[in-house]
Structure 1
Amino acid sequence: MRIIDTNICDVKIIEPSVYGDERGFFMETYRASFMDVLTGGKPFVQDNHSKSSQGSLRGLHYQLQHTQGKLVRVIQGSVFDVVVDMRSSSSTFGQWVSAELSAENKKQLWVPEGFAHGFYVMSETAECVYKCTDYYAPEYDRSLLWNDATVAIDWPLVEGKLPLLSVKDAAGKLFNEAEKF
């Protein structure tokens, strides 16, 4: 596996080595000793799997307590994956980075604790799987509004249509009003 830097030094793209032949392919998607460098040795304790239709936007989510680092990958389809730095003491506070994650490119995204995370489905459907360094804690779960003008994420909306949102995500907080770390 290879680590690729992003414009926010703590957020990394992980590109696996893929070995293929006429039968298909093989790749290693997780190795504790490799990920310990990014997680500081914090173990993953929960795996999540979602399937979403084209135009769905999930996020931007973060937890104020029981903060979660996430290792995200797509096993079917493609998404525009986004993270926003919610750490008020960070030099990249309020900035965002994105990566296209797809079943085809097999890239993964490391989202450290202290970041809001979300994704937009560009393909007909997409399945995301991700490992978390802490358990889901709904009482501490927060949503940052996907189209906040201060953060100004450049979402690649299919045909310019507004995304499909959950009630929770549609009611996300503006960055200036959102609770931060």
Structure 2
Amino acid sequence: MKIALVLSLMVSALVAAPMAMAWAVPPSDAQTARLMEVLGFKAAIDRIFDGYFTRHPKYSRYTPAQKACVRGLLQPVLQADQRRAMAASIGDQRHVQYVLRFAATPAGRKFFAHARQTLLDSVPAALHSDPGLDTFFESLSPSEQKQVLAYLDSPAAEALGKATPFAAPSATAKQWLRLQSLSRCGVEMVQL
């Protein structure tokens, strides 16, 4: 009897586990794009592109029109790859929906405005703590502080903390970009 019960529970668990995972619907491309905008990744990526095209020695000899052409080819491909990577690493649209709902609240708007600015101002040593966080938190009302703390304790914030939007383009995309930069822009694209 005990063996039958244990076997029954094991079979139930094996059947239920894939079903539970199937209930997690990945975020849509539009949801992920909106999330990345709320988090400030779009503005940060734009700033990275600006720096890349002004500092990379190879691009310094290209005309503004050639730089704009290459950027116009490269940026949409990289942004699509980044959205796919972010969606895959978050894995569940409910987390994205929760973050976007929180971002629409007064506390969320303040929280993500601070996060976006911190991201834009960030330096490579991103492991350092944010010295402005205490000042930011003190600027919130008690109600907003509770909302921020509730958000930070949520599974959505945990999933977002583990997520990464950065992904390298596929070999096929790299080849397409190289060919397009030569044929449409008249320049050789720097190795990605």
**TM class by smaller structure:** under 0.3
Point out the structure with the larger helix share. 2
TM-score with structure 2 length normalisation?
0.21
More strand by share: 1
Question: What TM-score, normalized to structure 1?
Answer: 0.21
